[in-house]
Amino acid sequence: MKPGETTAVPDWLTVAAIAVVTHVLSVVIHEALGHGGSCIAVGCIPSLVTTTQFQGNEDSLPKLAVDAVSAGGSFANLVAAVIAILLLRRQRGPARTHWFFLWLLATVNLLAAAGYPLYSGLANIGDWANIVRDLKPAWLWHLILTAIGAASYWFATRWAMGRLGRRLWTAGRRVPAAYRYTLVSYVTIAAVAILGGIFEPGGAFLVLISSAAASLGGASALAWGPQLLHDSHLGEPPEEPLQVPRDGRWIFAAALAALAFVAVLGPGIVL
């Protein structure tokens, strides 16, 4: 595709459907596979998994094992992102809904992996805050978390926008073209996260610091990241244009995923 050519306007309902599936997968990856898998690996017994938290019996575990469970969520998101990136690199030719799904899956998981240390460093809440809680001086460790998280988040955002930008060469209008994908995804992810937290057994405070923070804050690059595409050098060389037409299969999958996320995982699965 050459600069100056136009890309098709994506179907917003299909974009939203892909965002629903992506968010549900990223939460399951973080809470169930990441924290839950780490818990089993170090010998603790899982007891509860919801859309916002994982609980396990860690009373008899040494601190190193407890820290491994805390870090497991971010590590699982990072692994998922790497797998999605490798699959994305194997894509050749026209980019359709499956390309966008892999891109969004990689992006959301990268932002989650980077966002948790940043959030913990700034707010002293969350997985990584638990890991550094007993380390001194506390201010230095929080500064380290914040710096690592901020730098990782920035590079993850630049990678994501660069990859998307290659598919959106539209005569200098890449920014609004990108927003048709990212802003719809951002609003959808935020809505699903908050809906999934309505039945959270941990209460409204947990929803506020977890669901709202993870969606509105953690995925915020989807809201501001396209501004980076004002840089004409980001997202070169141009590739085949992205096209996301109406796809009933994704819409059906999103409906099932949202139902399971809100009605089953929302109140929690007791293990």
Residue 25, pLDDT above cutoff 90: yes
Whether the predicted pLDDT of 131 surpasses 50? yes
Provide DSSP, 193-240: HHHHHTT-TT-HHHIIIIIIIIIIITTTHHHHGGGGGGSTTTT-S--S
| CA distance linking residue 54 with residue 33, whole number of Å | 10
Strands in 45-49's sheet, in edge-to-edge order, are 54-57, 45-49, 269-270
What average pLDDT does the structure give for the chain? 90
State yes or no: pLDDT of 127 exceeds 60.
yes
pLDDT tens for residues 135-185?
Answer: 899 999 999 999 999 999 999 999 999 999 999 976 568 999 999 999 999
Cis upstream peptide for 137 (omega within 30°): yes
pLDDT band at 1 (very low <50, low <70, confident <90, very high): very low
215 compared with 188, residue with greater pLDDT: 188
**What b/e string do you get for 99-110 counting C-beta neighbours within 10 Å, with b at 16 or more?**
bbbbbbbbbbbb
Say which DSSP state 58 is in.
-
CB atoms within 10 A of CB 24: 24
Whether the Cβ atoms of residue 84 and residue 106 lie closer than 8 Å to each other: yes
H-run or E-run covering 79: helix 63-89
Specify the length of the chain in residues: 271
Q: What is the DSSP letter of 95?
A: B
Q: Is the pTM of this model over 0.95?
A: no
**Residue 224's pLDDT is what?**
97
User: Given pLDDT bands bounded at 50, 70 and 90, which one contains residue 46?
Assistant: very high
Measured CA to CA, the distance from residue 97 to residue 87 in angstroms comes to 14
Residue 204 has pLDDT above 70, yes or no: no
> Is the CB of residue 41 less than 8 Å from the CB of residue 31?
no
Rounded to the nearest angstrom, the gap between the alpha carbon of residue 49 and the centroid of all alpha carbons in its chain is: 18
pLDDT at 206: 61
* Rounded Cα distance, 235 and 214, in Å: 27
Residues 86-107 pLDDT 10s: 999 988 778 999 999 999 999 9
Write down the domain spans for the chain: 12-270
pLDDT greater than 50 at residue 2: no
Summarize the confidence of residues 64-84 as an average pLDDT. 96
Q: What percent of the chain has pLDDT over 90?
A: 69
Distance, in Å, from the CA atom of 165 to the CA atom of 3, rounded to the nearest integer, reads 11
Which H or E run includes 53?
none
> What percent of the chain shows pLDDT beyond 70?
91
Does 110 score more than 60 pLDDT?
Answer: yes
Measured CA to CA, the distance from residue 48 to residue 215 in angstroms comes to 21
Confidence check: pLDDT of 213 > 80: no
Residue 233 pLDDT exceeds 70: yes
Residue 212 has pLDDT above 80, yes or no: no
Taking 50 as the threshold, does the pLDDT of residue 237 lie above it? yes
